[in-house]
Structure 1
Amino acid sequence: MLFTLLAFVVALGVLITFHELGHYSVARWCGVRVLRFSVGFGRVLIKRVDRHGTEWAISVLPLGGYVKMQDDPPPGATAAQRAESFNAQSVGRRFAIVAAGPIFNLVLAVVLYAALSMAGTQEPAAVLGQPAPDTPAAMAGVVRGDRVTAVDGQSMRSWNEVRWALLDRASSGGSARLTVATAGGADRERILNISAQQLDPSLGDPLLVAGLSLAMPAPVVRNVIAGGAGERAGLKDGDVILAAGGRGDLDSRVLVNIIQQHPEQALPLSVRRAGQTLTVDVVPAAETVEGKRIGRLNVQLGGDLDMVEVRYGPWESLTRGVTRTADTAWFSLKMMGRMVTGDVSWRNISGPVTIADYAGQTARLGWAAYIAYLALISISLGVLNLLPIPMLDGGHLLYYLIEIVRGSPPPERWLDIGQRAGLGLLAALMGLALFNDLSRLFA
């Protein structure tokens, strides 16, 4: 719990502070006086005033930060002091200052994605499992062992890249051309026709619904528990189980189901040990679980996915960072639009509880997963703040656009109505997000 909270606080602090750094940098470039740049909120712990008169502060609550500018000149201000006020700037400069925050979030995502591409990451190879009957993948001819090398002519190096390339297709429908290398080494094309599916957490993974999943590795005995049926049968740590009861193409889940179906019954296992294939006859012990009699071997099973290193050069990493950020931002906007039309479930909206949970999960997976998570949340923060909703940066940008068209600022009455409407909308969205969080938490 403490680790998850720390990962969440660090993520939120970094992303919001970077957002505010965008406002600060462009404000200074435009000659606006910045009174304070605070990392965190609440009581100030440490502060320092620079030569421009800006107070740099670290505050007690590390949940982001803020920039306080001189909105209006003080009484009796000189011409130079009036020129340093935010409201004295041209509408173009005010637009740039406000837009800089969300843009900095998008730029940060580009940098993080590019850094990951240059550093290289270990990702699952795009080797597909056997699709369920009558799914789009099965009808396209996909079979277990097909390795996806391209989607619509675009080269794919890993399952993560394939998944991203097909996620939008799985939600909006359409066809995709998969180039695969078969288990026999031949190159083939599979035309995948996917019907539009509603993105809803309760409906499961949309790619799995389409029949696409990773091929799970053969189960490996990680630990033989003393005194159990596995030890009595002679199983050893490191044994790779190739078949059970004559059935091959096993993964851990399938093997466990087979063992549970054979309580106190002889079950031959085909095992690879030290390069040799052996037959081991096991008799699973019988146990009663929730009124049902099942078999147990008392061994811990695991498996090693086929992993590949995904690494690109500096220029390609930068272009991929730009493309991934732009695609993610556009995908987010499309999903918002489809929520409005009812094509995507509102249960996809997440609040702080879910975001914090993901922060902890990705941090435990390693630095690469956590950085990718930061990039994704940075994009979400940037896109959200660009929405034309009063109270957000996008709402102010909308007012500035109206000012450009009218030649003067909107009437105060418009601004008051917009603020009230924006506050109500944001409160409703936050309530929905918290409701979804709690529903997932107690489901």
Structure 2
Amino acid sequence: MDILTTAYDLVIGYILPFLFVLTIVVFFHELGHFLVARWCNVKVSDFSVGFGREIFGFNDRHGTRWKLSLIPLGGYVKFAGDENAASVPDRDLLAQMSAEERRTAFVAKPVWQRAAVVAAGPFANFLLAIAIFTFIFMVFGKTVTAPIVDEVRENSAAEAAGLLPGDEILAVNGRGIETFNDLQRIVSASAEVPLELEVARGTTVLSITAVPQYREVTDNFGNSQRIGLLGITRSVDQNSLIQKDFGPLEAVAEGTRDTVYVAGRTLDYIWGVISGRESADQLGGPIRVAHVSGQVADQGLLPLLSLAAVLSISIGLINLMPIPMLDGGHLVYYAAEAVRGKPLSERVQEIGFRVGLGIVLFLMVFATWNDVLHLSRL
């Protein structure tokens, strides 16, 4: 009975929230490829959510097979004339096609159309994130805290700078601050970087220089991350809480700002890993996503949708990395083709795909290993 209970908790608590989040993100990514392909008159033979054997599906009037497959860890769109979902041309199949059929093959399209089809997947991920954030802001608004210091911790950057309880942060490096979250976003991305704070203390406005300390923090789910910290807490007084409501255009603008912020923080972390400033142990794979999905699902549908938005941004950015096998790798090939006036040789592309596959497999294994280590520490 204990085994059944554990299995039930695992399925309901972790697997289903994970599949819910991943399916939304993957579906919209592939839908981006699909819609632009249709716009470019490329025949789409398969639209699959998941890999492996088909569980069920149907054919639409254009001849596309829409299907749900057995392994729900991704998905793909396959175009006419392609050997596989990585858009590797099938030369034998192309040779057997009629002239009319070849005109709808992906490989026969101008380079700008192929680039547009490939870029549409990540672009759809960013649009999905904006749409989710916009929906949340329109329906529920946003409760924020005024940028007022409640407590200054000992031996902190804030104490060294001379900040005091009751201080209100008006601006950072000349940029106006409206909420405590605005301040947190700037500080967290500015470890060891001097910040010029404009501070209201009573009726006096002061200019204070503070250098956020580089610290590892743990969130409510036990997940750790390294960010810049001043060492202050926000005011918990009810008068410091601000309920912000948004109209449609304001919600879109706020959703776009949040999407840009998440993308910027993600890119900053990736660059930090490449430059050696950040540790790669924060890279996570499907196991950690499933774990976080289960934790967030306990808080309700709204946080789970927010997680889907963040994951959608991450997948969009990852797919734009210039690695063969990923969308970004294809875009590099198309850029080279546009410059040269002809495609790279099949041999060069094949070598690139093999190298790209090796890199992707390595990253998957590395991320999974990080996931196992992360869970073992909880």
Same fold per superposition (TM over 0.5): yes
Q: Is 1:163 equivalent to 2:97 in the alignment?
A: no
Q: Is 1:390 equivalent to 2:353 in the alignment?
A: no
Shift of 1:137: 0.9
Match of 2:211 among 177, 183, 194: 194
Question: 1:30, 1:93 within 8 Å by CA — same for their partners in 2?
Answer: yes
| Map of 2:112 onto structure 1 | 92
| Map of 1:16 onto structure 2 | 26
| Map of 1:142 onto structure 2 | 163
SS in 1 for 2:120: helix
| Map of 1:430 onto structure 2 | 364
Alignment of 1:11-410 (within 5 A): 11-71=21-81, 76-119=96-139, 120-123=141-144, 126-148=147-169, 150-152=171-173, 154=175, 156-170=177-191, 173-179=193-199, 186=203, 188-189=205-206, 191-194=208-211, 197=214, 206-208=227-229, 210-214=230-234, 307-410=241-344
What is the CA deviation profile of residues 80-102 of structure 1, one whole-angstrom value per residue up to 9, with x for unaligned ones? Answer: 21101011111111111111101
Gaps of 5+ in 1: 218-303
What is the CA deviation profile of residues 96-126 of structure 1, one whole-angstrom value per residue up to 9, with x for unaligned ones? Answer: 1111101110111122222222221345555
RMSD: 2.9
Aligned CA distance change for structure 1 residues 50 and 205 (closer, same or farther; 3 Å): closer
- Distance of 1:311 and 1:212 partners within structure 2: 27
Q: Which is helix-richer, 1 or 2? A: 2
Matched AA of 2:101: Q
Matched AA of 1:83: R
- Distance of 2:138 and 2:171 partners within structure 1: 21
Shift of 1:372: 2.1
Question: 2:263, 2:314 within 8 Å by CA — same for their partners in 1?
Answer: yes
Shift of 1:349: 1.2
SS in 2 for 1:130: strand
Shift of 1:317: 2.2
| TM-score normalised by the chain length of structure 1 | 0.71
Shift of 1:28: 0.4
| Map of 1:293 onto structure 2 | none
SS in 2 for 1:206: strand
- Distance of 1:128 and 1:385 partners within structure 2: 40
Q: Which moved more, 1:157-166 or 1:348-357?
A: 157-166
Shift of 1:374: 1.5
SS in 2 for 1:26: helix
Matched AA of 2:165: R
SS in 2 for 1:63: strand
- Distance of 1:204 and 1:109 partners within structure 2: 22
Matched AA of 1:191: I
Aligned CA distance change for structure 1 residues 62 and 352 (closer, same or farther; 3 Å): closer
Aligned CA distance change for structure 1 residues 145 and 198 (closer, same or farther; 3 Å): closer
SS in 2 for 1:379: helix
Aligned CA distance change for structure 1 residues 386 and 328 (closer, same or farther; 3 Å): same
Identity among equivalent positions (%) equals 35
- Distance of 1:135 and 1:42 partners within structure 2: 53
SS in 2 for 1:144: coil
- Distance of 1:420 and 1:35 partners within structure 2: 24
Matched AA of 1:24: F
Matched AA of 1:143: L
Shift of 1:341: 1.5
- Distance of 1:414 and 1:74 partners within structure 2: 20
- Distance of 2:252 and 2:358 partners within structure 1: 40
